[in-house]
């Protein structure tokens, strides 16, 4: 099992490096990395469905937003403390993904993309419709007093970074565990050949539904964490843009790799950050880079690393 040792070493190693960076990074990058880790958790959730099950959703913002509003609204209107509020967020994502999965999985391929897109749009419009509670586009701030978890002030940059790292580590290790076990291996088989997998005696629908729920719940955890750590919930996070982001991050980083979502999120975040220092047309630079990467590294960064260097990467 030397492959297992290598992969575990690599993933735990990354988490240790990220932990050490908490005390090493300058404030600006420290803040960025905290944000990147939470967004990468979102991408990890997306990757479970897209990268490992082979289902392309265009509506994951609804799960991210379900987490964010599940947390934010219970804090704002019910006065819940952060821990149960985050759980409420994850619960909201879980229920939503169960319902959406149950309905959307009756379709496949392009129809699945459209149906998820439509559901996400419905969630986005719902957020706007109940503007009285959600404050719609404008959103609402989660006050500092509401962001103290078990006596730890999450507005403090240090605590915030460590909380982001904790959530990221949970998501990373959970998917690492998942793809090494029976359920994970089955969804990979479904990605590779759905019909064949069914003919081996697997209930394909149930496994796909499970994948949607896991994916949606991780996305909701990321959304709840994002709202809590950065103190804001707004309708932008439910918009189509936030459904496209995780797709881009995962494509860039490498779909169906454990580290890909993090690498892709990090890469894209700094690509936009650095190019916007150079020019106001930073989206042009970002766009050209994305096109080039898609042309020359179609499997994404970690996908290419796996194909060319380390075939043992999960």
Residues in contact with another protein by the rule CB under 8 A: 182, 185-186, 188-189, 192-193, 195-204
Query: Is 106 or 185 the residue whose CB approaches another protein more closely?
Result: 185
C-alpha 211/C-alpha 205 separation (Å) is 10
Query: Is 147 or 191 the residue whose CB approaches another protein more closely?
Result: 191
Query: Is 2 or 280 the residue whose CB approaches another protein more closely?
Result: 2
Cβ of residue 173: shortest distance to another protein, in angstroms? 20
User: β-strands 152-153, 232-233: how paired?
Assistant: unpaired
Other Cβ atoms within 10 Å of 248 Cβ, number:
17
> Half-sphere exposure of 298 toward its Cβ, with a 13 Å CA cutoff?
1
Tokens coding 263: 């690498």
Query: Is 77 or 181 the residue whose CB approaches another protein more closely?
Result: 181
Whether 50 and 247 have beta carbons less than 8 Å apart is answered as yes
Query: Is 132 or 195 the residue whose CB approaches another protein more closely?
Result: 195
Cβ of residue 193: shortest distance to another protein, in angstroms? 5
Query: Is 188 or 285 the residue whose CB approaches another protein more closely?
Result: 188
Whether 100 and 212 have beta carbons less than 8 Å apart is answered as yes
Query: Is 90 or 187 the residue whose CB approaches another protein more closely?
Result: 187
CA distances from 105 to 49, 67, 76, 202, 235 (A): 12, 22, 34, 16, 26
Cβ of residue 178: shortest distance to another protein, in angstroms? 15
First-to-last alpha carbon distance for the chain, in angstroms, is 14
Q: What is the four-CA torsion angle of 7, 8, 9, 15, rounded to 10 degrees?
A: 110
Cβ of residue 192: shortest distance to another protein, in angstroms? 4
Whether 301 and 252 have beta carbons less than 8 Å apart is answered as yes
Query: Minimal CA–CA distance to 173: which of 11, 4, 2, 6?
Result: 11
Torsion angles phi and psi, residue 200, rounded to 5: -95, 0
Cβ of residue 104: shortest distance to another protein, in angstroms? 20
Cβ of residue 185: shortest distance to another protein, in angstroms? 7
Cβ of residue 5: shortest distance to another protein, in angstroms? 17
Report helix, strand or coil for 153. Answer: strand
CA distances from 99 to 4, 49, 92, 210 (A): 36, 16, 11, 12
CA angle 275, 281, 287 (to 5 degrees): 70
Cβ of residue 129: shortest distance to another protein, in angstroms? 39
Query: Is 109 or 201 the residue whose CB approaches another protein more closely?
Result: 201
């Amino acid at each position: 099992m030397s492959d297992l040792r290598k992969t575990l070493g690599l993933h735990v190693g990354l988490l240790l490096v990220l932990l050490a960076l908490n005390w090493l990074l300058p404030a600006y990058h420290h803040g960025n990395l905290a944000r990147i880790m939470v967004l990468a958790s979102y991408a990890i959730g997306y990757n479970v469905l897209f990268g490992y099950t082979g289902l392309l959703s265009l509506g994951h913002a609804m799960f991210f937003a379900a987490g964010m509003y599940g947390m934010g609204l219970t804090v704002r209107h019910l006065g819940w403390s952060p821990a149960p509020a985050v759980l409420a967020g994850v619960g909201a994502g879980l229920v939503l993904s169960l319902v959406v999965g149950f309905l959307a999985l009756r379709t496949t391929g392009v129809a699945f993309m459209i149906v998820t897109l439509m559901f996400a749009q419905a969630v986005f419009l719902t957020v706007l419709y109940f503007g009285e509670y959600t404050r719609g586009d404008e959103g609402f701030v989660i006050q500092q007093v509401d962001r103290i978890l078990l006596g730890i002030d999450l507005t403090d940059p240090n605590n915030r970074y460590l909380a982001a790292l904790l959530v990221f580590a949970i998501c990373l290790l959970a998917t690492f565990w998942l793809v090494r076990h029976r359920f994970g291996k089955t969804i990979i088989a479904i990605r590779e050949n759905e019909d064949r997998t069914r003919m081996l005696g697997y209930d394909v629908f149930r496994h796909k539904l499970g994948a949607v729920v896991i994916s949606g719940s991780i996305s909701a955890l990321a959304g709840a964490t994002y709202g809590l750590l950065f103190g804001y919930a707004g309708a932008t996070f439910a918009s189509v843009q936030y459904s496209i982001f995780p797709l881009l991050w995962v494509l860039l980083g490498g779909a169906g790799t454990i580290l890909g979502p993090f690498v892709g999120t990090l890469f894209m975040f700094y690509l936009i950050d650095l190019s916007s220092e150079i020019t106001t047309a930073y989206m042009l630079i970002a766009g050209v880079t994305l096109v080039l990467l898609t042309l020359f590294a179609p499997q994404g960064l970690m996908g290419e690393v796996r194909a060319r260097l380390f075939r043992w990467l999960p």
